[in-house]
Amino acid sequence: MNQILLVSFVGLLIGAYGTAGTDFSDDIAVFGELEGFDIEEGDDVGLFDELSFKSEKGSKVLVNVDGFGAVGDGVSDDTQAFVKAWTEACTTQNSVFLVPEGRRYLVNATRFRGPCSDHFIVQAFTIDSSSAIKVKGLTIQNSQQMNFIVSRSNSVRLSDVQISAPGDSPNTDGIHITASINVVLENCKIGTGDDCISIVSGCSNIKMKKIYCGPGHGISIGSLGAGNSTGIVTNVVLDRAFLKDTTNGLRIKTYQGGSGYVSSIRYQNVRMENVTYPIIIDQFYCDSPTACQNQTSAVEISKILYRNISGTSMREIAMKFACSDTVPCKHIVLNNVFLEKKDGTAETYCNSATGVSKGYVWPLAECLTSSDKDLIIKQTEEVGLAPQSRENLIHTEL
Protein backbone atom coordinates (compact mmCIF):
# COMPACT_ATOMS: atom_id res chain seq x y z
CA MET A 1 0.00 0.00 0.00
CA ASN A 2 2.85 2.35 0.65
CA GLN A 3 4.78 1.82 -2.52
CA ILE A 4 5.98 4.73 -4.54
CA LEU A 5 5.18 4.94 -8.20
CA LEU A 6 8.29 5.60 -10.18
CA VAL A 7 7.35 6.00 -13.76
CA SER A 8 9.37 7.42 -16.55
CA PHE A 9 7.14 8.57 -19.33
CA VAL A 10 8.67 9.25 -22.69
CA GLY A 11 5.16 9.65 -23.95
CA LEU A 12 3.56 12.55 -25.67
CA LEU A 13 0.25 12.63 -23.97
CA ILE A 14 -1.15 11.19 -20.84
CA GLY A 15 -4.70 11.94 -19.94
CA ALA A 16 -6.40 10.12 -17.11
CA TYR A 17 -9.72 11.83 -17.30
CA GLY A 18 -12.12 11.74 -14.47
CA THR A 19 -10.34 9.04 -12.55
CA ALA A 20 -10.67 10.77 -9.29
CA GLY A 21 -13.68 9.11 -7.83
CA THR A 22 -17.08 10.61 -7.75
CA ASP A 23 -16.76 13.86 -5.89
CA PHE A 24 -13.62 15.47 -7.19
CA SER A 25 -15.16 17.31 -10.08
CA ASP A 26 -17.53 18.97 -7.65
CA ASP A 27 -14.63 20.05 -5.51
CA ILE A 28 -12.87 21.52 -8.47
CA ALA A 29 -15.99 23.29 -9.66
CA VAL A 30 -15.73 25.31 -6.48
CA PHE A 31 -12.70 27.04 -7.92
CA GLY A 32 -14.79 28.27 -10.79
CA GLU A 33 -16.55 30.51 -8.32
CA LEU A 34 -13.23 32.10 -7.52
CA GLU A 35 -13.08 33.57 -11.01
CA GLY A 36 -14.38 36.82 -9.66
CA PHE A 37 -12.10 36.58 -6.64
CA ASP A 38 -11.87 39.91 -4.93
CA ILE A 39 -9.86 40.58 -1.83
CA GLU A 40 -12.40 43.07 -0.58
CA GLU A 41 -15.09 40.44 -0.25
CA GLY A 42 -15.04 38.46 2.93
CA ASP A 43 -17.16 35.50 1.97
CA ASP A 44 -14.90 33.55 -0.34
CA VAL A 45 -13.85 31.38 2.54
CA GLY A 46 -17.28 29.82 2.77
CA LEU A 47 -16.79 28.26 -0.62
CA PHE A 48 -14.18 25.99 0.83
CA ASP A 49 -15.88 24.94 3.99
CA GLU A 50 -17.17 21.75 2.48
CA LEU A 51 -13.87 20.77 0.96
CA SER A 52 -12.42 17.85 2.76
CA PHE A 53 -10.73 14.74 1.57
CA LYS A 54 -12.84 11.65 1.45
CA SER A 55 -11.69 9.07 3.89
CA GLU A 56 -10.59 5.70 2.62
CA LYS A 57 -13.30 3.11 2.74
CA GLY A 58 -13.13 -0.62 2.60
CA SER A 59 -10.22 -2.77 1.54
CA LYS A 60 -8.24 -2.12 -1.60
CA VAL A 61 -7.56 -4.27 -4.62
CA LEU A 62 -3.94 -3.89 -5.66
CA VAL A 63 -3.34 -3.94 -9.38
CA ASN A 64 0.40 -4.28 -9.90
CA VAL A 65 1.84 -3.47 -13.32
CA ASP A 66 4.38 -6.26 -12.90
CA GLY A 67 1.51 -8.73 -12.91
CA PHE A 68 0.78 -7.56 -16.45
CA GLY A 69 4.29 -8.10 -17.72
CA ALA A 70 5.97 -4.80 -16.94
CA VAL A 71 9.75 -5.17 -16.66
CA GLY A 72 10.83 -1.88 -15.11
CA ASP A 73 14.44 -1.94 -16.23
CA GLY A 74 14.26 1.46 -17.91
CA VAL A 75 14.89 -0.16 -21.30
CA SER A 76 12.03 -2.53 -22.03
CA ASP A 77 8.84 -1.03 -23.37
CA ASP A 78 6.28 -1.38 -20.60
CA THR A 79 3.54 0.46 -22.42
CA GLN A 80 1.29 -2.54 -23.04
CA ALA A 81 1.62 -3.80 -19.47
CA PHE A 82 0.63 -0.37 -18.18
CA VAL A 83 -2.33 -0.16 -20.50
CA LYS A 84 -3.60 -3.57 -19.43
CA ALA A 85 -3.03 -2.92 -15.73
CA TRP A 86 -4.71 0.46 -16.04
CA THR A 87 -7.76 -1.03 -17.72
CA GLU A 88 -8.02 -3.65 -14.97
CA ALA A 89 -7.53 -1.13 -12.14
CA CYS A 90 -9.82 1.43 -13.65
CA THR A 91 -12.74 -0.95 -13.96
CA THR A 92 -12.30 -2.52 -10.52
CA GLN A 93 -13.96 -1.09 -7.45
CA ASN A 94 -11.61 0.15 -4.71
CA SER A 95 -8.49 -0.55 -6.72
CA VAL A 96 -5.00 0.84 -6.39
CA PHE A 97 -2.92 1.19 -9.55
CA LEU A 98 0.43 0.09 -8.20
CA VAL A 99 3.86 0.56 -9.70
CA PRO A 100 6.58 -1.02 -7.54
CA GLU A 101 9.05 1.31 -5.95
CA GLY A 102 12.59 2.02 -7.08
CA ARG A 103 12.43 0.91 -10.69
CA ARG A 104 12.12 2.79 -13.96
CA TYR A 105 9.31 1.94 -16.30
CA LEU A 106 9.39 3.11 -19.87
CA VAL A 107 5.96 4.04 -21.12
CA ASN A 108 5.42 5.42 -24.59
CA ALA A 109 2.83 7.89 -25.79
CA THR A 110 -0.33 6.63 -24.19
CA ARG A 111 -3.61 7.84 -22.86
CA PHE A 112 -4.64 6.49 -19.51
CA ARG A 113 -8.25 7.43 -19.51
CA GLY A 114 -11.12 7.30 -17.11
CA PRO A 115 -13.70 7.54 -15.87
CA CYS A 116 -12.74 4.79 -13.49
CA SER A 117 -14.64 3.01 -10.73
CA ASP A 118 -15.26 4.68 -7.41
CA HIS A 119 -12.36 5.21 -5.03
CA PHE A 120 -9.72 4.55 -7.62
CA ILE A 121 -6.28 5.49 -6.33
CA VAL A 122 -2.86 6.05 -7.81
CA GLN A 123 -0.35 6.16 -5.03
CA ALA A 124 2.50 8.30 -6.26
CA PHE A 125 3.83 9.51 -9.46
CA THR A 126 7.05 10.69 -11.04
CA ILE A 127 7.42 12.31 -14.41
CA ASP A 128 11.11 12.23 -15.20
CA SER A 129 13.06 13.31 -18.28
CA SER A 130 9.91 13.72 -20.29
CA SER A 131 8.28 16.28 -22.48
CA ALA A 132 4.77 17.18 -23.58
CA ILE A 133 3.00 15.39 -20.75
CA LYS A 134 -0.51 16.02 -19.66
CA VAL A 135 -2.06 14.55 -16.53
CA LYS A 136 -5.63 15.28 -15.72
CA GLY A 137 -8.07 14.20 -13.04
CA LEU A 138 -5.74 12.12 -10.93
CA THR A 139 -6.11 11.39 -7.24
CA ILE A 140 -3.07 10.44 -5.21
CA GLN A 141 -3.46 9.31 -1.67
CA ASN A 142 -1.25 8.62 1.33
CA SER A 143 2.11 8.32 -0.28
CA GLN A 144 5.02 7.79 2.08
CA GLN A 145 7.33 10.27 0.43
CA MET A 146 6.94 13.01 -2.11
CA ASN A 147 3.68 12.53 -3.88
CA PHE A 148 4.03 13.83 -7.38
CA ILE A 149 7.43 14.65 -8.79
CA VAL A 150 8.17 16.43 -12.03
CA SER A 151 11.87 16.32 -12.76
CA ARG A 152 14.08 17.16 -15.74
CA SER A 153 11.03 17.71 -17.91
CA ASN A 154 9.68 20.25 -20.35
CA SER A 155 6.06 21.15 -21.12
CA VAL A 156 4.09 19.38 -18.42
CA ARG A 157 0.52 20.19 -17.54
CA LEU A 158 -1.13 18.77 -14.43
CA SER A 159 -4.75 19.61 -14.01
CA ASP A 160 -7.49 18.51 -11.64
CA VAL A 161 -4.97 16.65 -9.52
CA GLN A 162 -5.90 15.93 -5.94
CA ILE A 163 -3.31 14.85 -3.42
CA SER A 164 -3.93 13.93 0.16
CA ALA A 165 -1.54 12.76 2.83
CA PRO A 166 -1.95 13.22 6.57
CA GLY A 167 -0.92 16.60 7.93
CA ASP A 168 1.55 14.93 10.27
CA SER A 169 3.35 12.85 7.63
CA PRO A 170 6.93 14.09 7.19
CA ASN A 171 8.53 14.83 3.83
CA THR A 172 5.45 14.38 1.75
CA ASP A 173 5.67 17.34 -0.58
CA GLY A 174 2.50 17.35 -2.62
CA ILE A 175 3.91 18.35 -5.98
CA HIS A 176 7.66 18.69 -6.25
CA ILE A 177 9.12 20.31 -9.36
CA THR A 178 12.82 20.17 -10.07
CA ALA A 179 14.97 21.06 -13.10
CA SER A 180 11.92 21.57 -15.29
CA ILE A 181 10.62 24.27 -17.58
CA ASN A 182 7.16 25.17 -18.85
CA VAL A 183 5.10 23.45 -16.20
CA VAL A 184 1.46 24.30 -15.56
CA LEU A 185 -0.45 23.21 -12.47
CA GLU A 186 -4.11 23.96 -12.64
CA ASN A 187 -7.05 23.12 -10.38
CA CYS A 188 -4.97 21.20 -7.89
CA LYS A 189 -6.04 20.44 -4.37
CA ILE A 190 -3.29 19.39 -2.04
CA GLY A 191 -3.23 18.43 1.61
CA THR A 192 -0.02 17.04 3.03
CA GLY A 193 2.54 17.07 5.85
CA ASP A 194 5.12 19.10 3.96
CA ASP A 195 5.07 21.69 1.18
CA CYS A 196 1.92 21.56 -0.94
CA ILE A 197 4.06 22.58 -3.87
CA SER A 198 7.84 22.91 -3.89
CA ILE A 199 9.77 24.37 -6.79
CA VAL A 200 13.49 23.82 -6.60
CA SER A 201 16.58 24.44 -8.63
CA GLY A 202 16.59 24.57 -12.40
CA CYS A 203 12.96 25.56 -12.75
CA SER A 204 11.68 28.26 -15.04
CA ASN A 205 8.29 29.22 -16.48
CA ILE A 206 6.16 27.55 -13.86
CA LYS A 207 2.54 28.59 -13.76
CA MET A 208 0.13 27.60 -11.00
CA LYS A 209 -3.52 28.46 -11.23
CA LYS A 210 -6.43 27.66 -8.92
CA ILE A 211 -4.57 25.89 -6.17
CA TYR A 212 -6.00 24.77 -2.86
CA CYS A 213 -3.46 23.98 -0.15
CA GLY A 214 -4.04 22.70 3.36
CA PRO A 215 -2.94 21.24 5.58
CA GLY A 216 0.70 21.59 4.69
CA HIS A 217 3.70 23.88 4.68
CA GLY A 218 2.45 26.10 1.89
CA ILE A 219 3.64 26.88 -1.60
CA SER A 220 7.41 27.04 -1.64
CA ILE A 221 10.22 28.07 -3.87
CA GLY A 222 13.16 26.21 -2.45
CA SER A 223 14.83 25.16 -0.52
CA LEU A 224 17.78 26.32 -2.56
CA GLY A 225 21.48 26.66 -1.89
CA ALA A 226 21.92 23.78 0.56
CA GLY A 227 25.55 22.68 1.01
CA ASN A 228 26.83 25.76 -0.87
CA SER A 229 24.99 24.69 -4.01
CA THR A 230 23.75 26.91 -6.82
CA GLY A 231 20.00 27.35 -7.08
CA ILE A 232 18.17 29.11 -9.89
CA VAL A 233 14.42 29.59 -10.18
CA THR A 234 12.87 32.18 -12.50
CA ASN A 235 9.48 33.14 -13.92
CA VAL A 236 6.99 31.64 -11.55
CA VAL A 237 3.36 32.73 -11.42
CA LEU A 238 0.75 31.73 -8.88
CA ASP A 239 -2.71 33.01 -9.69
CA ARG A 240 -5.77 32.26 -7.56
CA ALA A 241 -4.95 30.14 -4.57
CA PHE A 242 -6.49 29.41 -1.23
CA LEU A 243 -4.38 28.24 1.68
CA LYS A 244 -5.91 27.10 4.91
CA ASP A 245 -4.28 26.06 8.21
CA THR A 246 -0.84 25.87 6.64
CA THR A 247 2.41 26.72 8.42
CA ASN A 248 3.51 28.96 5.55
CA GLY A 249 1.68 30.65 2.76
CA LEU A 250 3.91 31.98 0.01
CA ARG A 251 7.44 31.02 0.93
CA ILE A 252 10.88 31.40 -0.62
CA LYS A 253 13.54 29.55 1.36
CA THR A 254 17.27 29.49 0.79
CA TYR A 255 20.30 28.40 2.76
CA GLN A 256 23.23 30.58 3.72
CA GLY A 257 26.27 29.82 1.57
CA GLY A 258 24.37 29.09 -1.63
CA SER A 259 24.61 30.94 -4.91
CA GLY A 260 22.36 31.55 -7.90
CA TYR A 261 19.13 33.50 -7.86
CA VAL A 262 15.36 33.56 -7.56
CA SER A 263 13.87 36.19 -9.81
CA SER A 264 10.60 37.25 -11.48
CA ILE A 265 8.05 35.67 -9.20
CA ARG A 266 4.44 36.81 -9.20
CA TYR A 267 1.85 35.80 -6.60
CA GLN A 268 -1.62 37.13 -7.17
CA ASN A 269 -5.20 36.65 -5.99
CA VAL A 270 -4.31 34.54 -2.99
CA ARG A 271 -6.46 34.10 0.06
CA MET A 272 -5.16 32.60 3.26
CA GLU A 273 -6.84 31.51 6.43
CA ASN A 274 -5.07 30.73 9.69
CA VAL A 275 -1.62 30.59 8.11
CA THR A 276 1.35 30.79 10.45
CA TYR A 277 3.65 32.77 8.11
CA PRO A 278 1.52 34.04 5.21
CA ILE A 279 4.28 35.80 3.29
CA ILE A 280 7.81 34.76 3.99
CA ILE A 281 11.20 35.06 2.39
CA ASP A 282 13.72 33.19 4.49
CA GLN A 283 17.33 33.40 3.40
CA PHE A 284 18.39 31.76 6.64
CA TYR A 285 16.56 28.51 6.05
CA CYS A 286 18.19 25.67 7.94
CA ASP A 287 16.70 22.20 7.95
CA SER A 288 19.52 20.56 9.82
CA PRO A 289 20.08 19.25 13.35
CA THR A 290 23.06 21.58 13.71
CA ALA A 291 22.76 25.37 13.37
CA CYS A 292 23.67 26.82 9.98
CA GLN A 293 26.26 29.59 10.18
CA ASN A 294 25.79 32.86 8.36
CA GLN A 295 28.01 33.14 5.32
CA THR A 296 28.82 35.84 2.82
CA SER A 297 27.22 34.18 -0.18
CA ALA A 298 23.50 33.49 -0.60
CA VAL A 299 20.97 32.81 -3.32
CA GLU A 300 19.96 36.27 -4.55
CA ILE A 301 16.27 37.11 -4.42
CA SER A 302 14.76 39.85 -6.57
CA LYS A 303 11.63 40.98 -8.44
CA ILE A 304 9.01 39.37 -6.26
CA LEU A 305 5.47 40.68 -6.69
CA TYR A 306 2.64 40.06 -4.23
CA ARG A 307 -0.66 41.33 -5.57
CA ASN A 308 -4.18 40.91 -4.20
CA ILE A 309 -3.21 38.85 -1.19
CA SER A 310 -5.53 38.67 1.80
CA GLY A 311 -6.34 36.60 4.80
CA THR A 312 -5.59 35.78 8.38
CA SER A 313 -2.23 35.19 9.94
CA MET A 314 -1.75 33.01 12.98
CA ARG A 315 1.10 35.23 14.17
CA GLU A 316 1.45 38.94 14.40
CA ILE A 317 4.25 38.95 11.84
CA ALA A 318 2.19 38.45 8.71
CA MET A 319 4.99 39.36 6.32
CA LYS A 320 8.57 38.34 6.91
CA PHE A 321 11.41 39.29 4.62
CA ALA A 322 14.47 37.81 6.32
CA CYS A 323 17.25 38.47 3.87
CA SER A 324 20.97 38.07 4.02
CA ASP A 325 23.05 41.04 5.18
CA THR A 326 25.51 40.51 2.34
CA VAL A 327 22.99 39.60 -0.39
CA PRO A 328 19.87 41.74 0.18
CA CYS A 329 16.49 40.97 -1.34
CA LYS A 330 15.65 43.54 -4.00
CA HIS A 331 12.59 44.76 -5.85
CA ILE A 332 9.91 43.32 -3.62
CA VAL A 333 6.57 44.80 -4.60
CA LEU A 334 3.45 44.65 -2.46
CA ASN A 335 0.25 45.64 -4.24
CA ASN A 336 -3.10 45.32 -2.45
CA VAL A 337 -2.22 43.18 0.50
CA PHE A 338 -4.35 42.72 3.57
CA LEU A 339 -3.19 40.26 6.19
CA GLU A 340 -3.80 40.32 9.90
CA LYS A 341 -4.20 38.24 13.01
CA LYS A 342 -7.73 37.51 14.22
CA ASP A 343 -7.29 40.23 16.87
CA GLY A 344 -6.50 42.76 14.15
CA THR A 345 -2.80 43.13 14.83
CA ALA A 346 -0.22 42.69 12.11
CA GLU A 347 3.40 43.49 11.55
CA THR A 348 6.05 43.28 8.85
CA TYR A 349 9.57 42.09 9.58
CA CYS A 350 12.43 43.04 7.27
CA ASN A 351 16.11 42.38 7.32
CA SER A 352 18.12 43.65 4.41
CA ALA A 353 15.16 43.83 2.02
CA THR A 354 14.17 46.61 -0.34
CA GLY A 355 11.01 47.21 -2.30
CA VAL A 356 7.83 49.24 -2.49
CA SER A 357 4.18 49.18 -1.53
CA LYS A 358 1.50 50.08 -4.07
CA GLY A 359 -2.21 50.48 -3.37
CA TYR A 360 -3.52 49.24 -0.06
CA VAL A 361 -0.96 47.36 1.99
CA TRP A 362 -1.53 46.08 5.51
CA PRO A 363 0.50 45.47 7.58
CA LEU A 364 2.51 48.50 6.56
CA ALA A 365 5.83 47.58 5.07
CA GLU A 366 7.81 50.72 5.65
CA CYS A 367 10.80 48.58 6.51
CA LEU A 368 11.10 47.80 2.80
CA THR A 369 13.06 50.88 1.92
CA SER A 370 14.05 51.67 -1.59
CA SER A 371 15.51 54.52 -3.56
CA ASP A 372 14.51 53.49 -7.07
CA LYS A 373 10.76 53.03 -6.74
CA ASP A 374 9.68 53.92 -10.26
CA LEU A 375 12.17 51.56 -11.75
CA ILE A 376 10.96 48.73 -9.56
CA ILE A 377 7.32 49.13 -10.47
CA LYS A 378 8.11 49.18 -14.15
CA GLN A 379 10.17 46.05 -13.96
CA THR A 380 7.73 44.00 -11.97
CA GLU A 381 4.86 44.79 -14.33
CA GLU A 382 6.75 42.65 -16.77
CA VAL A 383 7.20 39.77 -14.40
CA GLY A 384 5.53 36.68 -15.75
CA LEU A 385 5.56 34.13 -18.48
CA ALA A 386 6.90 35.27 -21.79
CA PRO A 387 4.55 34.85 -24.77
CA GLN A 388 6.88 32.30 -26.25
CA SER A 389 6.63 30.01 -23.24
CA ARG A 390 2.84 30.18 -23.37
CA GLU A 391 2.91 28.70 -26.81
CA ASN A 392 5.01 25.84 -25.56
CA LEU A 393 2.47 25.15 -22.89
CA ILE A 394 -0.45 25.12 -25.23
CA HIS A 395 1.50 22.65 -27.29
CA THR A 396 1.11 20.09 -24.50
CA GLU A 397 -2.61 19.94 -25.19
CA LEU A 398 -2.03 18.03 -28.42
Site string for ligand NAG, 175-214 (x = CB under 6 A): ----------------------------------------
Of the candidate residues 162, 172, 220, 308, the single one contacting ligand NAG (CB under 6 A): 308
258 counts as binding ligand NAG under rule CB under 6 A: no
160 is catalytic: no
Answer yes or no: are the C-beta atoms of 122 and 139 closer than 8 Å: yes
- Binders of ligand NAG: how many residues, by CB under 6 A? 26
Nearest-angstrom CA–CA distance, 338 and 288: 33
> Which one, of 241, 177, 250, 175, lies nearest residue 220 by Cα?
250
Restricted to residues 224-243, the positions that interact with ligand NAG (CB under 6 A) are 227-228
Catalytic residue among 119, 176, 217, 331: 217
109 counts as binding ligand NAG under rule CB under 6 A: yes
369 counts as binding ligand NAG under rule CB under 6 A: no
110 counts as binding ligand NAG under rule CB under 6 A: no
370 counts as binding ligand NAG under rule CB under 6 A: no
| Local structure of 119: helix, strand or coil | coil
Min CB(335)–ligand NAG separation in Å: 8
Nearest-angstrom CA–CA distance, 9 and 6: 10
| Separation of CA 7 from chain center | 20
245 counts as binding ligand NAG under rule CB under 6 A: yes
Of the candidate residues 325, 366, 382, 391, the single one contacting ligand NAG (CB under 6 A): 325
Catalytic residue among 27, 194, 239, 282: 194
> Which one, of 134, 170, 166, lies nearest residue 150 by Cα?
134
> Residue 53 carries which DSSP code?
P
Which CB contacts under 8 angstroms, 24+ apart, belong to 87-91?
A: 88/63, 89/61, 89/63, 89/116, 89/120, 90/19, 90/114, 90/116, 90/117, 90/120, 91/116, 91/117
Nearest-angstrom CA–CA distance, 216 and 169: 10
Of the candidate residues 114, 216, 257, 328, the single one contacting ligand NAG (CB under 6 A): 257
> Which one, of 180, 239, 254, 249, lies nearest residue 218 by Cα?
249
Q: DSSP H helical segments within the chain, as ranges?
A: 24-32, 79-90, 373-381, 387-395
Strand partners, 190: 163, 213
Q: Which stretch binds ligand NAG (CB under 6 A): 49-57, 139-147, 291-299, 363-371?
A: 291-299
10 counts as binding ligand NAG under rule CB under 6 A: yes
395 is catalytic: no
Q: Which stretch binds ligand NAG (CB under 6 A): 68-76, 130-138, 186-194, 307-315?
A: 307-315
**Residues engaged in binding ligand NAG (CB under 6 A):** 10, 38-39, 77, 108-109, 227-228, 245, 247, 257, 268-269, 274, 276, 284, 291, 293-295, 307-308, 314, 325, 336, 351
- Residues with active-site annotation: 194, 217
